[in-house]
Structure 1
Amino acid sequence: MKLIVRVLIVMLLSGAGWAIAEPGCKQPEVLHFATIPKKSLVQQYQEFEPLRLELQRVLGIPVQTVSVHSYQAVIEGVLSGAVDLAELGPAAYIQTKSRDPGVQALAAYSFKGGAFTPEGSYYHSLLLTGTGVNIKSIHDLEHRSVALTDPGSTSGALIPMTEFKRETGVVLADYVGKLIYAGSHDRAIEAVLSGAVDAAFVSSRRADDYIGRGEAASSDLRELWRSRPIHYDPFTVSSHLCPEVQARIRQVLLTPSSARRVLLETKGAVGMQSVSDEDYRWLEPLVRQLD
């Protein structure tokens, strides 16, 4: 009889939309959020602030941002459980998922169009140079200097080392004179505009943001190459979190609210949509090529 009662309770709770906590899963007293460094972390966390407060209200616990200065550090934080919720790049998500199949992609932005990016849920890896230099094609980059962003970046490292090579036949390390990591997309663009490097691989979205902030004009940059579309960065939850906590985070991300509206307006986004492994699976063989 007790077993029947327990089964009925489980069925009632499931029907009401509540997940049953798995043994040993994490019910955090504080939820820790981190994001990969795409530009100034101060600015990134300022943009996140409305959503942080909404998560805090819905979850009923403090939500704290964690300053992490590399893609790999965010990955390790999610894997260890030190970071509960993260905004990962697509390649960083695949790397994390390969080591812990329990991590879950929940949601990603869709954006307004810009100088280099069409409106929607996808962006591109771009090879950009300055319009003030005599570089008209990738063939002009022989023995020149090129910037990547971070070894964990999709558009700023993975795609240049795999897709770019496959499409053009150019092996960057053998072709260009100097190949450096700038540390972020903004720094890579700054290096191009200042003449510190001759070209850089960056996210088309980050280039549009840079232009949107008035730090450059679209006429200052020339596109030399463009990748196939890449789905935007997924908000990802650690496998250590209990399912009901994951479900409530997903609800906050995907349910319209005043806090979410402010976040979207701040980022120039038009919406947020549910995502899953299938949206990023095509990147798996590319990631394996660099393992």
Structure 2
Amino acid sequence: MIYSTKPSRGYHSVVIVKADSPYKKLEDLKGKAFGFADPDSTSGFLIPNHAFKQQFGGTSDNKYNNFFSSVTFSGGHEQDILGVLNGQFAGAVTWTSMVGDYNSGYSVGAFNRLIRMDHPDLMKQIRIIWQSPLIPNGPILVSNSLPADFKAKVVTAIKKLDTDDHACFIKAMGGTQHIGPGSVADFQQIIDMKRELVTAR
């Protein structure tokens, strides 16, 4: 399992609104336009979709029993945030670590990325009104068809690179990250949610 630089084994899906809006909780968005990121995104759809189905009933296709006036896929997490800022959505989902400095957009996530791009005051412009339980960080996978001894060697090599040449490890993993043990059980709820969606189609 991949870790970020901060002591977190995962990240969160969050619902945001404009800071100067009257919306304080999810229920306040009744009858309003809502934005998801992408139908294949865990934090941008899968997790909040499951929560909304439990809370309001229905599905995204019927706007959760018409709780929202509209449900739109913006195409990405940053687009969701910008959609809230420009008034396209009253509320929308995105992802963040919820670890680190709030004004910097936390340690990792869509807030942090937008702040570093061209929205330095972003966190003063939005408010988080809902957050999911911790979502486990993504795994490093190898095929089950590979011999057990080869899989063990891959794990050993990755761990060794992390400890022996962390600068190289950072480049190989695409950012400042660490690794730790993980199992299918860590991701079972996500797997079940995805299967439920596929079955319903």
Could you say which residue in structure 1 is the equivalent of 2:82?
190
Normalised by the size of structure 1, how large is the TM-score?
A: 0.52
CA distance in 2, matches of 1:251, 1:145: 49
Equivalent position SS for 2:113: helix
TM alignment of 1:103-122, pairs within 5 A: 107-112=1-6, 119-122=7-10
Residue of structure 1 in register with 2:126 after alignment: 221
Partner of 2:95: 203
Displacement of 1:185: 1.5
Name the residue aligned to 2:32. Answer: 144
Question: How far is 1:208 from its partner?
Answer: 4.1
Report the CA distance shift for 1:289/1:108 in structure 2 as closer, same or farther (over 3 A). Answer: same
Q: Aligned residue for 1:278?
A: 185
- Give 2:169's aligned residue: 260
Output the CA distance in 1 between the equivalents of 2:137 and 2:190: 13
Partner of 1:234: 139
Which letter does structure 2 place at the counterpart of 1:276? S
Q: Does the CA-based 8 Å contact 1:126-1:203 persist in structure 2?
A: yes
Q: How does 1:1-291 map to 2 (within 5 A)?
A: 107-112=1-6, 119-166=7-54, 168-169=55-56, 171=58, 173=63, 174-205=66-97, 206-210=109-113, 213=116, 215-216=119-120, 217-239=122-144, 246-255=151-160, 256=162, 257=165, 258-262=167-171, 267-269=175-177, 271-290=178-197, 291=199
Q: Tell me the distance in 2 between the aligned counterparts of 1:252 and 1:212.
A: 35
1:142: Cα distance to partner? 1.9
- The C-alpha deviation readout for 1:180-226, integer Å capped at 9, x for no partner, is 11222122222222222221112123234335525353222211111
In 2, distance between residues paired with 1:245 and 1:195? 53
Distance (Å, rounded) in 2 between the aligned partners of 1:262 and 1:279: 26
CA RMSD for the aligned pairs? 2.8
Deviates most, 138-147 or 170-179:
170-179
Cα distance in 1, alignment partners of residues 124 and 176 from structure 2: 21
- Using the TM superposition, give the Cα deviation of residue 163 of structure 1 relative to its aligned residue in structure 2, in angstroms: 2.3
The answer as to whether partners of 2:3 and 2:10 remain within 8 angstroms in 1 is no
Q: Which amino acid in the other structure matches residue 289 of structure 1?
A: E
Work out the percentage of aligned pairs sharing the same amino acid. Answer: 24
Deviation of 1:129 after TM superposition, in Å, equals 1.3
- Tell me, in whole angstroms, the C-alpha distance in 2 between the residues paired with 1:289 and 1:280: 14
Relative to structure 1, is the Cα distance of residues 240 and 227 closer, same or farther in structure 2, using a 3 angstrom cutoff?
same
Q: What secondary structure, in the 3-state scheme, does the structure 2 residue paired with 1:275 have?
A: coil
Note the C-alpha offset of 1:122. Answer: 1.8
How many matched pairs?
Answer: 176
The change in CA–CA distance for 1:195 and 1:253 in structure 2 (over 3 A counts) is farther
- Using a 3 Å threshold, how does the CA distance of structure 1 residues 191 and 273 change in structure 2: closer, same or farther? same
Provide structure 1 residue ranges, at least 5 long, that are not aligned to the other structure: 1-106, 113-118
What are the superposed Cα offsets for residues 1-43 of structure 1, whole Å, 9 maximum, x if unpaired?
xxxxxxxxxxxxxxxxxxxxxxxxxxxxxxxxxxxxxxxxxxx
